[in-house]
Amino acid sequence: MFNQIQLPYAYDALEPYIDALTMETHYSKHHATYTKNLNDAVQKAGIEEKEITSLLSSLDSISDEALRKAIRNNGGGFYNHNLYFSTMSPEGGGQPEGAFGNVLEKSFGSFSAFQSELSSLAAGQFGSGWGWLSANPDGKLVLSSSANQDNPLMEGGGFIPILGIDVWEHAYYFKYKNLRVDYIKSFFSVIDWKAVAVNYENVIKG
């Protein structure tokens, strides 16, 4: 059975960047529903014992079309939000330090070049979706965006997301209304770079 991560901070802990009503609704309604629907779908498909990462990177092996679609949407929603909520912190923001900070700067030229590239991808995603920073086991970093609850695991290129910006309207509309760009800017003030660096190390270790 798949479980939501325990939020490592209170709903209002990311104020003023992410407001408490958005956090509570996002975690206790949206994420909870994806998780419940995923559990229902994998039970129906008889594949409850699969790891979420292998489930999402082998969707083609689910022969029933309705179940495949349900697992893609809700499995993506389950996984993506566990990543999202675990890479934010009231002590977040700034830039990554240490070995991971060096890799990031080397990959994109500078931290500000990285920030502006990822922000553009997230802002430019038409409709609902995500902006991603992903890594592969060789330590290579790439940026991308995807629609709906899709993520880089589903693309089969061997990249695993280590940071995701949710740009569905439910992630920002209470506070930012139509101003997605302002929300993306605020998101950078709460990114937990230590958590992202741990995700990166885990991808390299395999």
Residues making contact with Mn ion (CB under 5 A): 166, 168, 171
Q: Maximum distance among all alpha carbons in the chain?
A: 47
Our CB check for Mn ion shows the closer of 19 and 166 to be: 166
Distance CA 171, CA 141 (A): 25
Q: How far is the CB of 111 from Mn ion (least distance, A)?
A: 25
Number of Cα atoms under 13 Å in the Cβ half of residue 12 = 0
Distance CA 166, CA 202 (A): 22
Q: How far is the CB of 38 from Mn ion (least distance, A)?
A: 14
Our CB check for Mn ion shows the closer of 81 and 195 to be: 81
Q: How far is the CB of 87 from Mn ion (least distance, A)?
A: 13
Distance CA 46, CA 73 (A): 17
Q: How far is the CB of 93 from Mn ion (least distance, A)?
A: 20
Q: Which of 161, 163, 168, 116 is nearest to 147 (CA)?
A: 168
Cβ atoms of 88 and 192 within 8 Å: the answer is: yes
Our CB check for Mn ion shows the closer of 81 and 103 to be: 81
Q: How far is the CB of 26 from Mn ion (least distance, A)?
A: 6
Token couple for 39? 């559990």
Distance CA 158, CA 136 (A): 6
Q: Report which residue's Cβ sits closest to Mn ion.
A: 166
Our CB check for Mn ion shows the closer of 135 and 165 to be: 165
Our CB check for Mn ion shows the closer of 23 and 135 to be: 23
